[in-house]
């Protein structure tokens, strides 16, 4: 026990408890007291601290930003085959819709093959969806194969294929399909006006006046003209205008009680194409009298016609004022026509005002029109300066203008 006392340094007085013993106590009691005091100096056992939990603020997760894995039609078909899952019309319809929206040619082809190998007997409405899928994917040949194998066809089957051929620039086949549709669909009771407009466009492109006239007669029989369908009426007017039949086009216009912008725009375009420039100006005035809203194409045609009317630019100035009133003077096409018109009548300052009001500095049409206006009025130095500016800006110059500048030996 005495060895233990020498090994340890005496504890601080504050740690030694106070015992009320008399000095006459025995040595055994002193030793026990010293031992009990020394027990207070033992090193405590090491204990692992409690883990500190730091509470993080709640962060809202925008699940719309989390990318969702997408599987193509081909992927889903492979999964179905690997799991030996049978297909049905509803599932195939969803896959066809997906391939249509994504213009997935491979998926569309594999889906068609998968359907042919399955036990599904698709209905006409489902086959129409397949037709639309292949047409949207640009596979008109596959769509035609599906169409030819259809046991039953409705109006939508024919319409999808007709529109597909027109979109691909093939106008012969839509005309043939339209005639076949009238034979196989037991009349034209379910035909809509918009398909008539498509056939009229095809008839004009293949220069088949007779077919277009038959379509016109069918429209009258079905009451489409009385329904005041502006799109169909505009298509009829444009169709007759393509063949120079202005009387027939005007007859369609006069049958309408309230012709709108599309109809008048078609008439203005026809009159300009046939060189009836005075009539174009009168058409523009009539539109204003009847309160018909004018668009940029109407203003463009009228301004082009005003350059051929020998009135010193008076008609063009009136059209310009109307364009400013309606807010069309900021349109690039209208500004270009104004520059051409004022340049034609020698009003260079007015042409420059129209040119300087442009917002798009890189539009080459206005620049070339201004150069041509300078050249027409003998302002060759101004034209060359503008050509250098065009080159510095990177705007393409028309070859005709460059050749004309090179041929001028002297400058004013």
**49-63, 371-385, 392-406: which has the highest mean pLDDT?**
371-385
For residue 178, what pLDDT band results from cuts at 50, 70 and 90? very high
Asked if 126 and 158 sit in the same domain, the reply is no
Cα–Cα distances (Å) from 347 to 123, 241, 246, 305, 318, in that order, read 68, 33, 34, 17, 15
Asked if 157 and 253 sit in the same domain, the reply is yes
Decide: helix, strand or coil at residue 133.
helix
Distance CA 157, CA 329 (A): 45
Average pLDDT (304-329) is 93
pLDDT at residue number 15: 43
Place of tokens 């042919």: 116
Average pLDDT (240-261) is 93
Q: Is residue 7 part of a domain?
A: no
Structure tokens at 316: 């063009």
Average pLDDT (210-217) is 96
pLDDT at residue number 398: 85
- Residue pair 298/287 in contact (Cβ under 8 Å)? The answer is yes
Asked if 96 and 175 sit in the same domain, the reply is no
pLDDT at residue number 1: 43
CATH number for the domain harbouring residue 171: 1.25.40
Q: Of 339, 340, 371, which is closest to residue 353 (Cα–Cα)?
A: 339
Query: Is the pLDDT score of 187 beyond 90?
Result: no
Average pLDDT (67-84) is 83
Query: What's the mean per-residue pLDDT of the chain?
Result: 84
For residue 232, what pLDDT band results from cuts at 50, 70 and 90? very high
Asked if 126 and 173 sit in the same domain, the reply is no
Q: Is residue 192 part of a domain?
A: yes
Q: Is residue 101 part of a domain?
A: yes
Asked if 104 and 181 sit in the same domain, the reply is no
Asked if 167 and 127 sit in the same domain, the reply is no
Q: Is residue 37 part of a domain?
A: no
The residue segments making up the domain with residue 104 are: 72-132
pLDDT at residue number 202: 96
Decide: helix, strand or coil at residue 187.
coil
Query: Is the pLDDT score of 214 beyond 80?
Result: yes
Asked if 183 and 244 sit in the same domain, the reply is yes
Task: Among 200, 229, 259, identify where a domain stops.
Answer: 259
pLDDT at residue number 56: 54
Asked if 178 and 104 sit in the same domain, the reply is no
**Which parts of 51-154 fold into alpha helices (H)?**
73-82, 89-102, 105-117, 124-136, 140-149
pLDDT at residue number 44: 55
Structure tokens at 393: 């800006």
Task: Among 234, 259, 284, identify where a domain stops.
Answer: 259
Q: Is residue 138 part of a domain?
A: no
Q: Is residue 16 part of a domain?
A: no
Q: 30-34, 156-160, 195-199, 343-347 — which is least confidently predicted? A: 30-34
pLDDT at residue number 188: 67
Query: Is the pLDDT score of 6 beyond 60?
Result: no
Distance CA 316, CA 281 (A): 9
Q: Is residue 337 part of a domain?
A: no
Query: Is the pLDDT score of 183 beyond 90?
Result: no
- Residue pair 128/93 in contact (Cβ under 8 Å)? The answer is no
Query: Is the pLDDT score of 137 beyond 50?
Result: yes
Task: Among 259, 284, 310, identify where a domain stops.
Answer: 259
Query: Is the pLDDT score of 41 beyond 60?
Result: no
Query: Is the pLDDT score of 8 beyond 50?
Result: no
Q: Is residue 316 part of a domain?
A: no
Query: Is the pLDDT score of 253 beyond 90?
Result: yes
| Overall pTM > 0.85 | no
Domains identified in the chain, total number: 2
Asked if 200 and 243 sit in the same domain, the reply is yes
Asked if 117 and 164 sit in the same domain, the reply is no
Which tens digits make up the pLDDT trace of 92-114?
999 999 999 999 999 999 999 99
Asked if 203 and 249 sit in the same domain, the reply is yes
Tell the burial category of 221 from Cβ atoms under 10 Å away from its Cβ (0-12, 13-18, 19+): exposed
For residue 315, what pLDDT band results from cuts at 50, 70 and 90? very high
Average pLDDT (139-151) is 94
Asked if 157 and 249 sit in the same domain, the reply is yes
């Amino acid at each position: 026990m005495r060895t233990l006392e020498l090994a340890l340094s005496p504890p601080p007085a504050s740690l030694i408890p106070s015992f009320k013993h008399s000095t006459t106590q025995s040595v055994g009691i002193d030793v026990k007291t010293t031992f009990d005091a020394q027990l207070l100096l033992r090193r405590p056992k090491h204990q692992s601290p409690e883990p500190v939990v730091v509470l993080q603020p709640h962060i809202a997760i925008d699940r719309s930003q989390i990318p969702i894995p997408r599987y193509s039609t081909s992927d889903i078909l492979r999964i179905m085959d690997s799991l030996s899952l049978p297909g049905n019309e509803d599932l195939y319809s969803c896959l066809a819709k997906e391939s249509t929206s994504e213009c997935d040619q491979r998926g569309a082809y594999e889906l068609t093959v998968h359907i042919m190998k399955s036990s599904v007997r698709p209905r006409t409405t489902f086959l129409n969806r397949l037709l639309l899928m292949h047409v949207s994917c640009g596979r008109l040949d596959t769509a035609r194969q599906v169409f030819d194998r259809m046991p039953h066809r409705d109006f939508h089957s024919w319409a999808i294929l007709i529109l597909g051929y027109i979109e691909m620039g093939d106008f012969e086949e839509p005309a043939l399909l339209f005639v076949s549709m009238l034979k196989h669909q037991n009349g034209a009771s379910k035909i809509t006006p918009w398909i008539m407009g498509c056939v009229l466009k095809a008839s004009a492109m293949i220069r088949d006046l007779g077919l277009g006239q038959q379509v016109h007669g069918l429209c009258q029989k079905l009451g489409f003209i009385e329904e005041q369908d502006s799109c169909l009426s505009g298509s009829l007017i444009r169709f007759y205008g393509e063949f120079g039949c202005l009387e027939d086009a005007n007859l369609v216009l006069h049958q309408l009680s309230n012709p709108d912008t599309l109809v008048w725009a078609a008439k203005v375009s026809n009159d300009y194409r046939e060189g009836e420039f005075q009539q174009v100006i009168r058409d523009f005035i009539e539109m204003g009298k009847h309160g018909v809203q004018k668009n940029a194409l109407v203003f463009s045609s009228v301004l082009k016609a005003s350059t051929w009317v020998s009135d010193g630019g008076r008609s063009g100035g009136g059209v310009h004022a109307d364009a400013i009133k309606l807010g069309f003077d900021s349109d690039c096409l209208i500004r270009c026509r104004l520059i051409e018109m004022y340049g034609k009548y020698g009003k260079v300052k007015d042409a420059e005002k129209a040119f300087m009001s442009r917002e798009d500095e890189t539009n080459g049409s206005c620049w070339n029109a201004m150069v041509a206006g300078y050249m027409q009025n003998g302002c060759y130095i101004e034209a060359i300066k503008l050509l250098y500016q065009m080159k510095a800006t990177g705007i393409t110059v028309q070859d005709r203008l460059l050749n004309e500048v090179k041929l001028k030996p002297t400058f004013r």
